[in-house]
Structures are given as structure tokens and as C-alpha cells.
Chain A
Amino acid sequence: MSAGQDLTQESAAAEHPLLERLREHFATAVVATHAHRDDLTVQVAPASILEICTFLRDDPDCAFDFLMDVTAVDYIGSVPRFEVIYHLYSLRKNHRLRVKARVAEEDLRIASVTPVWAGANWLERETYDMYGVHFEGHPDLRRIYLYEEFQGHPLRKDYPKEKRQPLVRGRDVGQGAARRAEEREREGYGRWQ
């Protein structure tokens, strides 16, 4: 399996005023920018994600009131391995921006942007579920699609598609369920898995 290419290298000379403004305002935190196929993209240092997102929402020239999507990409083999991706949209300015931050596998954590956009809640939970990225300061960081006992994070590139999960004992969801489980066991069906 080949590692994903680092796409931030291309088209370094992105001349869009919005990208320029961000580069000026966050001289150290903005790592790279590009505008591949007219998608404005800014790569930032993960430590300053909350500060930059707050600025992007509140600054009148940016005015990104919508957080459309949060996800991650696993560039296995490269360092840092993971990239957390935020897609923003501004209703007033009618423009879009992609914000990216590289996070290392050994320290897979980044600040949650739930204080900036309430909608980050489920999106970050999904990213945690699928990639294992820990969003610090998230009010309720638990798996969203998969069950608690699921082992691993399925969208990582080293998680095989056909991998099977160990069977999980039935959860105690009330007396009725426990009684039915006992009945099944007596009748020789084995425990509920």
C-alpha cells in the first residue's frame, strides 16, 4: 500500500486575498496554503487550531459561520501521520475554506472546535470513532456509529477491510433482557452475543 502524497507542497504561490490575509495574521501558525482547483486550503499548526477557528468565524472578512464538515485523512508512512480536515463556509461572504492540521500518531490530539461551532460535536465524535483522534475539550467524546467495545478505528489505513471483531456479551439493558437471556441459555441457545 503506497503512502498518500503530501498534497500541500503543490501550488505554493496561492494569491487569493483570503489566504494572504491569514498568512499575514498568523505568520507562524499558518504552515502552508494552496488553491488546488480553486479550493482554498490553509494548513495550520495543530496547537493554534482553536485560535484560528475563532478568528475565522469572528473576523468580518472571513465570517465563516458554517462548519460543514470535520474529517481526517490517514497518510500512513509519512510524519506526522494524520491530517484533520475542516470544511468551512461563509453565508455572508459566500466563500469556502478548507483548514487542515497535521497530527502525529504518538500524540493524536487536537483542540475541539465545539466552542466555536456547536455542530462540531457529532462531526468530531465521528472522526474520533473512525480515526481515533482525541479532541481535547469536547463535551462528550465517545463513539458515534460503532459500539463501545469495538477495537480499533476502521478508517485507518492499517485496519484491514475484512477484519472481524470479537463478539461482545449482551449488555444489561433491563430486567426483561436479562431474563430472556437466561431463558435462552436454559434452552441451550448459548448466551446472547
Chain B
Amino acid sequence: MKATAAGSESSLTRDLHAEPMQIQMGPSHPSTHGTLKITLQLDGERIVDSDVEVGYLHRGFEKECESGEYYQAIPYTDRLNYASPMINNVGYCLAVEKLFGVTVPLRAQYMRTIACELSRMSDHFTCLGAGALELAALTPFLYCVQAREHMYDLHEALCGARVTTNYVRIGGMQSDLPPGFADLCRQKVAAALALFADVDALLTKNPIFRDRMEGTGKLPAETLIGYGVTGPLLRAAGVPLDVRRAQPYLVYDRLDFDVPVGTAGDNYDRYLVRVEELRQSARIIEQALRDLPDGAVDVDDPRLRLPPKGRVFNRMEELIDQFKLVTEGIRPPAGEVYQAVEGANGELGFYLVSNGTGSPWKCRCRSPSFSNTQALRDMIRGALLADVVPTFDMINMIGGECDR
């Protein structure tokens, strides 16, 4: 076949006519730490458009909660964001306590704050480590996993479990702090931060890492707000929204911490925001350990917590309370509440409707990953195929929380 060169345009310089290519990334792609499918329309290496499909980890969280008692939902909340289970425990229990209109004792509030910040650190270690791994930097991942192990050790000291914690109770905690926890906590947090200092040295000024991160996945703050994106993604775009600061819960209004914000709103700023949040979490934990008051951990309310055994065996009232709690579960008064906490990836909210029975009529989880992942399509439109990886890393979609 003869080459046909028309006019000045030779067959070598003319663009090849090509249809956009459709490729599928996921549902289980080695460079994404989250289960979702992205169907990409590619023009060469440029992404023309994409369709993001979630739901691979949908387990019917709400249906399960609505068919069980209030207590039985707490272990399910562990499995929403399994990288930061304590924050989910706390968010759910705060919502049920709001239905009752009770506040837990100050000691429990401090303990919950410590647990939340430990979980936030473990979540950020996961995100940063896995993010680096998926850009082919293996060493930082190993350091981050080791740092996360320290967090898991502390989870284990608190409640006996490393991942599925089930630590927080409605109206209190599973147990008081173990002896010597403050020292162990200081030591482990310092060890984790020391490990992370190496990650910081390996990544933050690394030109290869920065080439992949800087300027990619960028969206203006208004678009992010329109999508309901919260957490480090929004703060990296310069919006200092943090539920801990905007509408404080637990004891965050008594603690001194900064809300880091970025300027560019690209993946690199999202990385930097998370790095700084690690340090702020460590600051919060140190202050909470210092200020931790003595006293009871559980509320003294027979509607919520089992009475002490000594009284159950000797008094009629407490015996009835115990019997009713065990057989019927707790029964919040009818009403509806929405309680938001700052999850590791943004606003985590629980919307509960009670009709006065022992099971929630409605138990809804507003998950930050769901709203954040929705913005992925806009973040990668027009970008290169390779930019999907760092962008999706920094969204840090947790399948269990996104799909519920």
C-alpha cells in the first residue's frame, strides 16, 4: 500500500485518527488501596472522562443496625473505617448519647479523645504509607506500617483488640485505662513519630515523589464544597474546616492544636496536611494524657450502664435495671439526632431515629469517603492515566466506610 501524502501534511506528521480507548481500573487494582472500579475513557494517556463505580464492599450496615439493638451496632462501626475504628465507635456512641441527652464523665471524654487521635494517626500512617507504596516507594510503606503497629499496640492495651476495637460503650467505656498506659502511650507515639521522621526525609523533598504529587488531582475549593468534600482534601485547598474546631465535641475545645491548611489543593498539599495532622494528633494526645482527670468512666444511669454487681445481688431496683437492660437493651426516648465528628478523612456523621424501642428505627452513617470519592471524576478529568494513582491515594477511600 502506497503512502499518501496530501499537500504539506505527510503521513508521518499527521495525527493518527484514534477512537478513545476504554479501560477498566479495578475493582481490585494493585495500585489502589480501596476496592472500586474506574472505567476510563482515554485519548492516548489523557483521561477524557471516567465513571467511578463503588459498592464492592456494601454489607448493609444500616439494615443490620436497624434489626439489632443499639449496642449491637458498635462492632459494625469498627468495620466502617477499619483504619480508624475508634473514631467510628466514638461517633456512633456520641449520637446515641445525644438521643438520651446524657454526657459521659470527663475522664471518659479524655479517654475517647486519646483513642480518636490514636486512630487518626493510624489512619494517616496507612494513607501515607500505602500512597507512597503505590508510587513505587516501598521503604516508606514499611516504616509507616511499623509506626502503625505502635498505634495498634496502644489499641490493644486499651481494649485487647488491634483492629476491630469495639472499645467505646454507650454512656461510657468498655474499661478504664490499663495501669501504666500514659507512659506506654508517650513511648509508642514518640517511637512512631521517630519512624515517620524517616518517611518524611525520604518523601517530602524527593523530586520523583513531588513530580507525581505536585499539581495533580487539583480542584478549587468551591467545587470541593459543592461535592461535600471534607477533611484533609478540603483543608489542602485552603479551607480550615475541622469539626473538632468548628463544632467541638468531647474535650477538643480545651486542647491546643492547629488545623493545618494547604494553598494549592493538589495531592502534594494533601500529603503535607496529613503529615502535619500526625504531629498535631501527637500534641493532642500529650495534652490529654497530662490533663486526664480521675473519676468514673461510665455514667451513673441505669438506662445505659449495668449497675455494680454488689448492688444487683442485694437490691431490688438494681436487679430490675439489670434484668431490663440485658433482656431489652437500652431504649432511647423517641427523637432524631445527627452527630458529626471529625473522622480521619472528613466529617463522619451518624443520623439516628428512635421510636422509643430497643432498636434504632434508622441508623444512617454519613461517610466522608463516599462524598470524597464522588469528586474523583472531576479531579482526574483531563489528567494523565498515571495521575489517577496519587489522586486516589490521597482521597484515601476506605471501602468499608464508603460502601457501608
A interface with B by C-beta (< 8 Å)? 2-5, 7, 10, 36-37, 39, 41, 65-69, 71, 73, 85, 87, 89, 91, 94, 96, 98, 117-119, 121-123, 126, 130, 144-146, 154-155, 161
Q: How large is the interface on B (under 10, 10 to 19, 20 to 34, 35 or more residues)?
A: 35 or more
Contact across chains for B336 and A41 when beta carbons are under 8 A apart:
yes
C-alpha gap A14/B71 in the complex (Å): 31
**In the bound complex, do residue A67 and residue B228 qualify as a contact, i.e. CB atoms below 8 Å apart?**
yes
Residue of B nearest to A173 (CB): B24
Inter-chain CA distance A131–B162, complex, in Å, is: 36
Q: By the criterion CB–CB under 8 Å, are A145 and B58 in contact?
A: yes
Asked, given contacts A7-B334, A37-B98, A65-B225, whether A87 binds B58 with beta carbons under 8 Å apart, the answer is no
B269 within 8 A of A: no
Contacts of B246 in A (CB 8 A): 94
Q: Interface on chain B toward A: helix, strand, loop, or mixed SS?
A: mixed
* Distance in angstroms between the alpha carbons of A85 and B223 in the assembled complex: 23
9-residue interface stretch from B75-83, B179-187, B351-359: B351-359
Per CB-CB distance, the 10 closest pairs between chain A and chain B, nearest first, are A145-B55, A119-B228, A145-B58, A69-B366, A119-B227, A118-B226, A122-B374, A4-B361, A73-B362, A4-B355
- Are A69 and B349 within 8 A (Cβ)? yes
Q: Tell me how far the C-beta of A24 lies from the nearest C-beta in chain B, rounded to whole angstroms.
A: 24
Residues of B within 8 A of A71 (CB): 351, 362, 364
Q: Count the A-B residue pairs with Cβ separation under 8 angstroms: how many?
A: 104
**Cβ contact of B239, chosen from A41, A89, A91, A130, cutoff 8 A:** A91
Q: Is the CB of B54 within 8 A of A145?
A: yes
Contact B338 A121 (CB under 8 A): no
CB neighbours of A121 from chain B (8 A): 374
- Interface stretch (choices B27-35, B59-67, B306-314): B59-67
Q: Verify if B298 is at the interface (C-beta below 8 Å from A).
A: no
Whole-angstrom distance between the alpha carbons of A65 and B54 in the complex?
25
Q: Which A residues touch B66, using CB under 8 A?
A: 155
Tell me the complex Cα distance, A155–B353, Å: 14
Report if B371 contacts A (CB, 8 A): yes
A41 CA / B54 CA spacing, docked (Å): 31
Measured CB to CB, the nearest residue on chain B to A41 is: B336
With beta carbons under 8 angstroms apart, the residue of B58, B239, B357, B364 that contacts A2 is B357
State whether A154 touches B63 (Cβ < 8 A): yes
B191 to chain A, nearest CB (A): 37
> Of the candidates A2, A73, A130, which one forms a contact with B353 in the assembled complex, judged by CB atoms under 8 Å apart?
A73
The answer to whether B225 and A66 touch across the interface, beta carbons within 8 angstroms, is yes
Scan residues 207-241 of chain B and give those whose CB is less than 8 A from a CB of chain A: 223, 225-230, 239, 241
Using known A-B contacts A5-B334, A41-B336, determine if residue A155 contacts B247 with beta carbons closer than 8 Å.
Answer: no
With A94-B246, A98-B338 in contact, do A68 and B228 touch (Cβ < 8 Å)?
yes
Asked if B403 and A145 sit within 8 Å, CB to CB, the answer is yes
What chain A residues lie within 8 Å of B351 (beta carbons)?
A: 69, 71, 85, 87
Within 8 A of A (CB), among B87-132: 98-99, 101
B337: Cβ under 8 A from any A Cβ: yes
A85 vs B362: C-alpha distance when bound (angstroms): 12
Contacts of B337 in A (CB 8 A): 36-37, 39
Q: Is the CB of A10 within 8 A of B335?
A: yes
Q: In the bound complex, what is the Cα–Cα distance between A41 and B225 (angstroms)?
A: 22
Q: Are B58 and A146 in contact (CB under 8 A)?
A: yes
Query: Does any Cβ of A come within 8 Å of B401's Cβ?
Result: no
